[in-house]
Amino acid sequence: MQMPINARANTNVSVLPPGDERLPLFARLRDVIASRIAALEWSAGQAIPSEQELARTYGVSVHTLRRAVDQLVREGLLERKQGSGTYVRRPSFDASLFRWFNFGDKSSDGGRTVPESRILERKVIAAPDDIAAKLKLKKPSKLVQILRLRLWGGMPVVTESVCLSYGRYKSLIAMDEHEVGPLMYPLYEHRFGQIVTSVEDELSLGQADARHAPLLGVRIGDPVVIVERLSLGVDGTPIDWRRAYGRGDRFRYRVRLT
């Protein structure tokens, strides 16, 4: 006895916002949940409602709900714990620029310590076209630029220039250095309401110039690794853009390609 259940399986919109009507249910569901995470509706480390409950509130089958969650788990936004619940994951990818460099000198702790940070300069500048484009800012716009020196065990390893939209981040200019702290991403989250969930890095090689060599404690002409990074939020919004110069003799990188 077949029943014509849910006559339009593909157009169930009971509680679901429109989204792109062409996308399958589970994809729209994924977006809805992602935006609820982005809106900090559940804070990191906290459990979201159970699959049963979410499926009920959205009027979809558990399987479909699970598919949406599956994807968010693969994307690293959620984490499942069998028997316990599904939790919002603190973005824990190694977002440190220091991931490109190694400090294996028998330091017992294996790299968990936070590198020191010294702010050298803060200023407001007119956004160059290329940076404005990367940050998706409208044409005539201003940037907050912060120049920092990063040290490891007292040794300077990386110089870093961070660019942020002046509109949202202007208060960084005057903020006390201790309040800024060594890690920017947690600051973005707690003070400015933006969570960094992924970064795009571009690496190349260069030579230390008269400006960077003394800061890094190397000779002019010594090899340096240039890391250009764009940080992105949950929904792909650009948050900051950086250019860093790191000591080449400390560079080490491992990947598995599939």
Partner DNA sequence: AAGTGGTCTAGACCACCGA
Partner DNA sequence: CGGTGGTCTAGACCACTTC
- Applying CB under 8 A, which residues contact a copy of itself? 75-76, 93-95, 197-205, 207, 223, 225, 248-249, 251-258
β 223-233/238-247 pair status:
antiparallel
Measured distance CA(46)–CA(209) in Å, rounded = 47
57, interface contact from a copy of itself, DNA, none, CB < 5-8 Å by kind: none
Nearer to a copy of itself, 177 or 209 (CB): 209
138 interface partner picked from a copy of itself, DNA, none, CB below 5 to 8 A per type: none
For residue 5, the one-letter residue type is I
Q: Which CB, 13 or 201, lies closer to a copy of itself? A: 201
CB of 130 to a copy of itself, least distance (A): 16
Q: How far is the CB of 91 from a copy of itself (least distance, A)?
A: 9
Residue 109 vs residues 113, 212, 245: alpha-carbon distances, Å? 7, 29, 25
- CB-based burial of residue 33 (10 Å sphere; 0-12 exposed, 13-18 middle, 19+ buried)? buried
The C-alpha angle with vertex 93 and arms to 100 and 240, in degrees rounded to 5, equals 75
- 57: number of CA atoms within 13 Å, CB side? 10
93 binds, among DNA, a copy of itself, none (CB under 5 to 8 A by kind): a copy of itself
Where along the sequence are the contacts to DNA (CB under 7 A)? 2, 4-6, 9-10, 12, 24-27, 47-48, 50-53, 59-64, 66-67, 80-86
